[in-house]
Amino acid sequence: MTSPWIAALMAVFLWWFATGAILIVVRLCERRGAAARRRAVLMALPVLALGIWGYETTLGQTGTGSACGAFLAALAIWGWIELSFLTGAITGPNQRPCPAHIVGWERFIRAWGTVAYHEMLLTGVLILLWLYATDAVNTVGLWTFSILYFARISAKLNLYFGVPKINTEFLPAQLAHLASHFRMAPVGWFFPLTVSALSFAVACWLERLWSAPTPETAVGFALLAAITALALLEHWLMVLPLPDAKLWRWMLPAPKPTPEKSRPEGHHGF
């Protein structure tokens, strides 16, 4: 694992595999009811605990193994929080669709209410990770979680302001109301701003990778460059008409039968 190319490929594979694994669990729980969703979140707590332990353990370690371990630890923490959201365990107080005539601040408050608890949890964890990593030798896990956090906030704001392509195929029934808070519209001012910021971040990681003095440093920057590039790709999938859902659709169990309705294709990654 001393090759940054292998590290980057590992990050891409984990993005695909972790997204698929979470979607499988959510799909199975959707078929079995609310009790199954609660059990899934509780049964996944060891993953969260392992991520916290791995994050704390790798902060003071160097080496390519520690860089990869920190990356995996951040994904484990993020993955549990994502599972708790998609199962409906930690979302927000507002679980009602947004009427079409609502605009302005009321629409924003309603949209915030659908994800408030989830966003506060993510923000609290991010703050704790930063406080705990003061003077740490290995910050790969910290930056991995930070990238995922800011990319997710950016993606949600883009869906709120409006993008040409909105994918809801894998949106579970317990979160179906979220789609009413999205807006399908031509690209506005916010999308170019966020894409430019992510592109700049990718360029910075690649520059650090190119000038890395040690193999472990190069591996760490390769992992960060890969996960940031994937976040950038997820943003472009809101604009480009690509069938990204095919990456996971083949591996998922059939959805629970529902009354016929229009459901656009697609889902963005982990």
Q: What is the pLDDT of residues 29-65, one digit of tens each?
A: 888 888 899 999 999 999 999 999 999 999 998 889 9
pTM for the structure as a whole: 0.90
Residue 162, judged by CB atoms within 10 A of its CB (0-12, 13-18, 19+), counts as: middle
Q: What is the pLDDT of residues 80-125, one digit of tens each?
A: 999 999 999 999 999 999 988 888 899 999 999 999 999 999 999 9
Residue 148 pLDDT > 60: yes
Residue linked to tokens 């990593």: 133
Residue 227 pLDDT > 70: yes
Domain boundaries, the chain: 4-249
Question: Could you give the CA distance from residue 245 to residue 239 in angstroms, rounded to a whole number?
Answer: 14
User: In Å, how far are 118, 135, 216 from 67, measured between CA atoms?
Assistant: 27, 16, 7
Arithmetic mean of pLDDT, 169-176: 86
Arithmetic mean of pLDDT, 66-84: 95
Question: Could you give the CA distance from residue 228 to residue 207 in angstroms, rounded to a whole number?
Answer: 14
Q: Which positions ≥6 away from 191 have C-beta within 8 Å?
A: 158, 161, 163, 235, 238, 239
Mean pLDDT of the chain: 88
Q: What is the pLDDT of residue 170?
A: 79
* Percent of all residues in the chain with a pLDDT value above 90, rounded to a whole number: 62
Other Cβ atoms within 10 Å of 167 Cβ, number: 21
Q: What is the pLDDT of residue 255?
A: 64
Q: What is the pLDDT of residue 254?
A: 67
Q: What is the pLDDT of residues 239-261, one digit of tens each?
A: 988 777 777 776 677 666 655 44
- 220 or 30: which carries more pLDDT confidence? 220
> Of 36-40, 63-67, 73-77, 173-177, which one has max mean pLDDT?
73-77
Q: What is the pLDDT of residue 79?
A: 95
Q: How would residue 270 be classed by pLDDT, with cut points 50, 70 and 90?
A: very low
Q: What is the pLDDT of residue 200?
A: 97
Q: Which positions ≥6 away from 1 have C-beta within 8 Å?
A: 7, 10, 64, 65, 68, 219
CB 166 within 8 A of CB 184: yes
Question: Could you give the CA distance from residue 179 to residue 43 in angstroms, rounded to a whole number?
Answer: 28
Question: Could you give the CA distance from residue 139 to residue 133 in angstroms, rounded to a whole number?
Answer: 7
Q: What is the pLDDT of residue 121?
A: 96
